[in-house]
């Protein structure tokens, strides 16, 4: 049976081959860095396909994380996924990257009635969303200071970075999740579940949640006017 290729670069580069029938991760690669998406992504994809005798055109499709995430890293994954999909003539599906963290939280031994997942947004902020016990997003996504999060259990690397601020605000940072980033294997699980439920995942527009640091200089704006 064909596999899905899952890609997320909202944090570190994460790539997985996932069995279409069982949803199990066949193989995956995750970078230990958060700024090498351009250097590692294509190599990871080639390694996975070659290691399992998989041809791109025979994949069931590509599931890609649409963020939220930093501009440059997130763009790398989205452009790569769209390019692979075009060349191989296979569908590309967009899934919010925070959903991958929620899926990982759902694997916890005791899932709270409601919880929050948080990733690093830099600038002393986090990207976050709120979920119920079934994994349904009930609020978000947002970008804010950690102190603005609801007083709930918080999972993800954002909880680790800002554990002290979260505790002061009444939230409960979950220590077992302090290293969690968006994982392509969990992203694929969410995407496959949503596809099975009939959800349209054709939109692969990036979710940045805020404007880029790179701005058009004032003199260039005046020259265009």
Claim to verify: residue 114 and residue 40 sit in the same structural domain = no
- The total of structural domains in the chain comes to 2
Q: With beta carbons less than 8 A apart as the criterion, state whether 95 and 3 touch.
A: no
- Do residue 61 and residue 30 come from a single domain? yes
Domain containing 131 — which CATH number? 3.30.420.40
Q: Is the residue at 224 inside a domain?
A: no
Whether residue 21 sits in one domain with residue 78: yes
**Residue segments in the chain with a per-residue pLDDT below the cut of 70:** 1, 211-225
Q: 116 with 138, same domain?
A: yes
Position 201 scores a pLDDT of 98
The answer to whether the predicted template modeling score (pTM) of the entire model surpasses 0.85 is yes
User: Can you read off the two tokens belonging to residue 187?
Assistant: 């992203």
Q: Which domain holds residue 56?
A: 3-97+182-196
79 with 136, same domain: the answer is no
Strand order in the sheet with 137-144: 137-144, 125-132, 114-122, 153-155, 172-173
Q: Which residues contact 210 (CB under 8 A, 6 or more apart)?
A: 143
Question: Looking at the structure, do residues 87 and 186 belong to the same domain, yes or no?
Answer: yes
Evaluate whether residue 218 is within a structural domain: no
Per residue in 87-98, pLDDT (tens digit) is: 999 999 999 999
Judge whether 172 lies within some domain. yes
221 falls within a domain: no
Cβ count near 71 (within 10 Å): 15
- Tell whether 23 and 93 lie within a shared domain: yes
Model confidence over 160-201: pLDDT tens digits?
999 999 999 999 999 999 999 999 999 999 999 999 999 999
Instruction: Classify residue 205: in a domain, yes or no.
Output: no
CB 59 within 8 A of CB 7: no
Residues 90 and 125 in one domain: no
Considering the domain architecture, whether residues 104 and 160 belong to the same structural domain is answered as: yes
β 114-122/92-95 pair status: unpaired
Let me know whether 78 and 187 are in one domain. yes
149 lies in the same domain as 137: yes
pLDDT in the model for residue 33: 86
Please give the pLDDT value at position 110.
87
pLDDT at 222: 53
Instruction: Write down the residue that tokens 């680790």 correspond to.
Output: 160
Residue 48 lies in a domain: yes
| Under 8 Å between Cβ of 48 and 17 | yes
Both 9 and 29 in one domain: the answer is: yes
Q: Could you tell me if residue 216 is inside a domain? A: no
Question: 217 lies in a domain?
Answer: no
Give the E-state strand segments of the chain in sequence order: 3-8, 14-19, 25-30, 61-65, 92-95, 114-122, 125-132, 137-144, 153-155, 172-173
Both tokens assigned to 56: 């791109």
């Amino acid at each position: 049976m064909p596999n899905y290729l899952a890609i997320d670069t909202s944090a570190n580069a994460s790539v997985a081959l996932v069995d279409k029938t069982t949803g199990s991760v066949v193989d995956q690669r995750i970078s230990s860095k958060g700024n090498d998406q351009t250097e590692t992504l294509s190599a990871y994809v080639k390694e996975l396909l070659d290691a399992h005798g998989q041809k791109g055109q025979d994949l069931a499709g590509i599931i890609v994380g649409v963020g939220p995430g930093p501009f440059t890293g997130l763009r790398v994954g989205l452009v790569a996924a769209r390019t692979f999909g075009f060349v191989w003539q296979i569908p590309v599906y967009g899934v919010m990257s925070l959903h991958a963290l929620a899926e990982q939280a759902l694997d916890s031994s005791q899932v709270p009635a409601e919880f929050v997942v948080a990733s690093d947004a830099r600038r002393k902020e986090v990207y976050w969303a709120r979920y119920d016990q079934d994994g349904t997003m009930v609020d978000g996504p947002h970008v804010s200071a950690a102190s603005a999060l609801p007083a709930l259990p918080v999972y993800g690397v954002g909880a680790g970075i800002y554990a002290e601020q979260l505790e002061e605000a009444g939230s409960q940072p979950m220590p077992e999740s302090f290293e969690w980033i968006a994982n392509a294997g969990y992203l694929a699980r969410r995407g496959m579940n949503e596809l099975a439920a009939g959800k349209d995942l054709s939109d692969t527009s990036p979710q940045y949640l805020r404007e880029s640091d790179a701005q058009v200089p004032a003199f260039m704006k005046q020259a265009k006017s």
